Structure 1
Amino acid sequence: MPVVEGITLTLGALMAGALVAVGLSAIVGFQTFLYFQIFPQDTVRYKFLVAWTWLTDTAHTISYCVMIWQYAVLNFTNPAILLEILTGFPVVVVFTLIATLNANVFYAWRIHKMSKYNWWLTGTICFLCVARTALGFFVAVELRVFKTWAAVQPIKPAIVSGMAVSVATDVVISAARYYYLRDLKQGYMAVQEMVDTVVIFTINDGLLTCALLGATIACFLGMPNNFVWIALYGTAAKLYSNSVLATLNLRNWYRHRERPMGIRLTRPPPNRNMFQIDSGVSKIQSTELHELPPTMEVFMEQQVEYTAPAGKYNNEGRGIDSRP
């Protein structure tokens, strides 16, 4: 970046990106609070994942704000500072990598279970995650070594490749989630509605991150002399963190629908309805087994009362008792 394109597309872009990032970070914090309120009985690994996601997101927000402080406050009277790479940006890159890795590993683990431990698919996703992380850390180290944006030219292929691999990873993950969720759309209508909702969320979530990173690549290649691409790149970590938390919290949305949704895992014990007719000389009892909700018990007792016509006798010469 030998020549900057004015305050609007440099500091202005950073400030706009910071506003969006802080707003998304607030949503991450709210989702974290919501998770611990709704799922206090969740497993320890899920709780650790949520806490780690929130800590990573908080550190990313702080590093982003520090970068703006360095550019806009500490060097307010020094416009030439925009030509330099300050320490805040490599830290932003590192925490973006961590947030991306959190989401990718989380979804890779879920796909591994959904695919019945398909190691080929999971291995491909893990390979892409490792490649993305390795390229990202290489770029972060090089940004720390270089002192000016003009010196970044040799590592431009690495920067573009890292974001392109991230897009490819999101495409593979979204396609795999859609493929295995599609097989669940059978049988119970409520399950079909639930799967449809999850599929829509999966597609939109993958398209959003891919579109953001695609725009980042386009701005980096088309407008290398401003900070618009940095503003876009700085919000990517928020999308990944919100994606993980939304996936976990989405489980509770189905529990508060007007109509119960979900798959019954255990079969409740059968309930017995008994219908008894006692005519004095004969006793008929029929039993039917019905599957009822485990919290409902129904006991039915039916009596049939009738009166025999006068002068009618049975085979033994006795009148039929008209009492029930």
Structure 2
Amino acid sequence: MAPPYDVLESLPGVVPDFAHWLPLDKTLGAYLVGTFAGAVLYGLSIHQLYRYCRLFPSDTLFIRILVAVVMLLETAHTAMTMHTCYFWLITGFLNFSALLNGSPWSLDALPIILSFIMLTTQLLFAKRVFLLGPKYQLVVGVAMLFLVGEIGFSTALTYRAFIINDIANLNSAAWLISTALGLGFAADIMFTATLTYVVKQSRSGLQRASPIELFMIYVVNTGLLHCIFNLISFILTVAVTYSLIYGFFSTVTARLYANSLLAVLNSREPPPNKGLEVFESGSAYGLNAIARANRRAAAQTWNVPQVNDEPEVIDIKVTTERGEWERERRKEDKRATLRSIAR
């Protein structure tokens, strides 16, 4: 049954006061738009997941588990953002007491879900940087420490959100949000800067790449895109209080992590139908060739940018004992001829 007309007519006198205290465009509006954008990007990640399953059905077990975990977390994150919007805009419609004195469980649990999305996705980027060589492994170690710290602060934020359960006082925990996002961004920028540097150094085949291919290589495959959105989220949590604008960028960032992961995996060359056979010769060159082939196979599996490491051509002059003996014999014949002429 529809409410009486006089009740609806009196609503404009109530809503402006609430909107003045809590600007809807900067809070619920920004969060709702972020949920819409996240749903679109989630659909894109589903399409990329389909392509991945078609192109790489026999990928390594670790990568397949990583993809499955990331997509499960993305699905949970998408459903929870939708539930939060439904609670605020449908269940709690005009119930200002419920909006101010309570927050949905889905909103309270979002930080820990986002932190695990970041961690699992960055495992792929960490492995790519690790395979670049020993001099880059320190970067991986420091970045992983940042990610562990980000997990810790996100866990504390989730615990505090369930304890406070009051959106009006949740701003007191803003420093936890800022710290968690800041640590995540620190890990992002370390991986992104390293991969961008190596791609810039190699540049093999990039001269003929199209603008779209260059965008994919430098912006998506290096993690620069989600790194930028993570930075914007961090800045907004520090600079803007009593606002959920950062929630828009945070939701988009969560979707970009999965899309970046799948874009990196799908940009690899599909495996050939016939495996590569390597015959061991037992020589040092044969062993080096096998090691080099294994490194290249690992680099292709994890889509690691490679600096050209082709061995230099070394010209070695080999003198055999027979050649020396023939030269000495010719010299002796020449000396014998000269002696006979002198006589």
TM-score (norm 2): 0.66
CA contact (8 A) 2:185 2:230 kept: yes
Match of 2:178 in 1: 160
Match of 1:217 in 2: 234
Aligned equivalent of 2:162, options 135, 144, 148: 144
Within a 5 Å distance, the mapping from 1:62-77 to structure 2 comes to 62-77=79-94
- Amino acid of the structure 2 residue aligned with 1:52: V
| Displacement after TM superposition at 1:79 (Å) | 2.8
Q: From the two aligned structures, give the one with the greater strand fraction.
A: 1
Match of 2:22 in 1: 5
Match of 2:247 in 1: 230
Q: Tell me, in whole angstroms, the C-alpha distance in 2 between the residues paired with 1:199 and 1:175.
A: 16
Q: From the two aligned structures, give the one with the greater helix fraction.
A: 2
Q: Tell me, in whole angstroms, the C-alpha distance in 2 between the residues paired with 1:72 and 1:175.
A: 41
| Displacement after TM superposition at 1:174 (Å) | 0.7
Within a 5 Å distance, the mapping from 1:2-151 to structure 2 comes to 4-83=21-100, 84-116=102-134, 118-151=136-169
Q: Tell me, in whole angstroms, the C-alpha distance in 2 between the residues paired with 1:4 and 1:94.
A: 29
| Displacement after TM superposition at 1:191 (Å) | 7.1
Over 3 Å counting, the alpha-carbon distance change for 1:18 and 1:67 in structure 2 is same
Q: Tell me, in whole angstroms, the C-alpha distance in 2 between the residues paired with 1:109 and 1:193.
A: 28
Per-residue CA deviation, residues 192-251 of structure 1 (Å, 9 max, x unaligned), is 757x98875354234432332232233334432232222221221101111100000011
Q: Which runs of 5+ in 1 are unaligned?
A: 256-263, 268-324
| Displacement after TM superposition at 1:135 (Å) | 1.3
CA contact (8 A) 2:139 2:190 kept: no
| Displacement after TM superposition at 1:3 (Å) | 7.2
CA contact (8 A) 1:174 1:203 kept: no
Secondary structure (helix, strand or coil) at the match of 2:160 reads helix
- Amino acid of the structure 2 residue aligned with 1:137: T
Q: Which structure has more RCO (C-alpha within 8 Å, separation ≥ 6)?
A: 2
Aligned equivalent of 2:187, options 169, 177, 185: 169
Within a 5 Å distance, the mapping from 1:195-274 to structure 2 comes to 200-201=215-216, 203-205=218-220, 206-252=223-269
| Displacement after TM superposition at 1:177 (Å) | 1.1
| Displacement after TM superposition at 1:34 (Å) | 0.7
Following superposition, which runs of at least 4 residues in structure 1 exceed 6 angstroms of deviation? 196-199, 264-267
Aligned-pair identity (%)? 20
Q: Tell me, in whole angstroms, the C-alpha distance in 2 between the residues paired with 1:131 and 1:199.
A: 33
TM-score (norm 1): 0.69
Secondary structure (helix, strand or coil) at the match of 1:85 reads coil
CA contact (8 A) 1:177 1:202 kept: no
Q: Which runs of 5+ in 2 are unaligned?
A: 1-18, 280-343
Secondary structure (helix, strand or coil) at the match of 1:8 reads coil
CA contact (8 A) 2:39 2:78 kept: yes
Over 3 Å counting, the alpha-carbon distance change for 1:118 and 1:222 in structure 2 is closer
Match of 2:338 in 1: none
Q: Tell me, in whole angstroms, the C-alpha distance in 1 between the residues paired with 2:26 and 2:242.
A: 9
Over 3 Å counting, the alpha-carbon distance change for 1:151 and 1:8 in structure 2 is closer
| Displacement after TM superposition at 1:117 (Å) | 7.5
How many correspondences in the alignment?
Answer: 255
CA contact (8 A) 2:154 2:180 kept: yes
- Amino acid of the structure 2 residue aligned with 1:74: T
Over 3 Å counting, the alpha-carbon distance change for 1:179 and 1:198 in structure 2 is farther
Over 3 Å counting, the alpha-carbon distance change for 1:103 and 1:117 in structure 2 is farther
Q: Tell me, in whole angstroms, the C-alpha distance in 2 between the residues paired with 1:158 and 1:38.
A: 41
Secondary structure (helix, strand or coil) at the match of 2:262 reads helix
Q: Tell me, in whole angstroms, the C-alpha distance in 1 between the residues paired with 2:198 and 2:170.
A: 42
Match of 1:271 in 2: none
| Displacement after TM superposition at 1:93 (Å) | 1.6
Q: Tell me, in whole angstroms, the C-alpha distance in 2 between the residues paired with 1:10 and 1:80.
A: 17
